[in-house]
């Protein structure tokens, strides 16, 4: 038992000396993981995209259409940056990347609402960017449904209907929604906690292959085997422990950041 402990100590000291004698070890074991943590932390520091540019094609030019545009502009996800004249112009801006989506408010919107007709408001969004497209779709759908419900409530109130009856007609079924796995919609927590451990595993794999390969290249494998009492299992075990030990601290740092 004592001989085994001495053998383990000899291998551990040897691996530490080899690590401290090469700058590549410091780069892969310390510098690159820290840079990865800083890079992904700064890249996703906001957690979720906000104030993404959208365009409005207002073909009605009434108080109601302008109210719709203002309500879209005050949402946390969307920001009205362009008032466009036609669908073709809006589509051109979408394709060039100046906006992520646009809303078309049709002609005679206000008149159709007053006449109890159903006008159609269309919106287009860029779904090539999955996160941005999904968030914009949810945002525009929510605000337009909310505006539609508000207009319906105002019309029914003008007819003298009670509040309870109006709510039962506008929303006959109430939804109780629960977000799972990413309840705060914060992609900094959700994605970074996945990416950083993967990056650490890549560095571990590269460093393990390099450290074993350099033993073969420099013809020091016999010395390495002799230090481990001629046991290949001890050779690999002590080398892997010595190499992987700093990565466990890096993984703890990444998990701490994710929390």
The residue ranges of every structural domain in the chain are: 2-44+187-258, 52-170
Residue 136 confidence (pLDDT) above 80:
yes
Domain 52-170 maps to which CATH number in 3.40.1710.10, 3.20.20.70, 3.40.50.720, 3.30.450.70? 3.40.1710.10
Between the CA atoms of 227, 228, 230 and 234, what dihedral angle is there, to the nearest 10 degrees? -160
- How far apart are alpha carbons 97 and 102 in whole angstroms? 12
Classified as helix, coil or strand, 158 is helix
Most confident of 113-117, 230-234, 247-251: 113-117
Instruction: Report pLDDT for 89.
Output: 92
- How far apart are alpha carbons 252 and 248 in whole angstroms? 6
Most confident of 24-33, 43-52, 84-93, 116-125: 84-93
Pair 153, 166: CB distance under 8 Å: yes
For residue 258, how many other CB atoms are within 10 A of its CB?
Answer: 17
- How far apart are alpha carbons 196 and 187 in whole angstroms? 13
Please write the tens of the pLDDT for every residue from 44-73: 777 777 888 999 999 998 988 898 889 888
- How far apart are alpha carbons 36 and 41 in whole angstroms? 8
**What value does the mean pLDDT take over residues 223-239?**
73
Please write the tens of the pLDDT for every residue from 70-85: 988 888 888 999 999 9
């Amino acid at each position: 038992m004592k001989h085994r402990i001495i053998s383990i100590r000899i291998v551990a000291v040897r691996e530490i000396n080899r690590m401290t004698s090469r700058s590549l070890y410091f780069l892969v074991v310390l510098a690159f993981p820290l840079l990865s943590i800083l890079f992904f932390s700064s890249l996703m520091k906001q957690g979720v995209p906000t104030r993404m540019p959208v365009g409005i094609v207002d073909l009605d030019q009434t108080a109601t259409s302008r109210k719709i545009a203002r309500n879209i502009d005050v949402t946390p996800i969307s920001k009205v940056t362009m008032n466009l004249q036609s669908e073709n112009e809006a589509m051109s801006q979408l394709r060039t990347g100046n906006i992520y989506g646009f809303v078309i408010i049709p002609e005679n919107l206000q008149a159709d609402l007053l006449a109890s007709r159903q006008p159609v408001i269309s919106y287009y969004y860029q779904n090539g960017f999955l996160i941005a497209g999904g968030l914009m779709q949810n945002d525009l759908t929510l605000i337009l449904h909310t505006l539609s419900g508000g207009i319906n409530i105002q019309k029914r109130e003008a007819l003298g209907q009670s509040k309870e009856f109006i709510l039962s007609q506008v929303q006959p079924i109430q939804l109780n929604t629960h977000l799972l796995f990413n309840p705060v919609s914060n992609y900094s927590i959700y994605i970074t906690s996945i990416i950083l451990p993967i990056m650490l595993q890549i560095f571990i794999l590269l460093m393990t292959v390099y450290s074993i390969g350099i033993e073969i290249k420099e013809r020091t494998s016999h010395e390495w085997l002799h230090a481990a009492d001629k046991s290949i299992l001890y050779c690999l075990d002590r080398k892997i422990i010595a190499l992987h030990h700093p990565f466990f601290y890096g993984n703890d740092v990444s998990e701490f950041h994710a929390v």
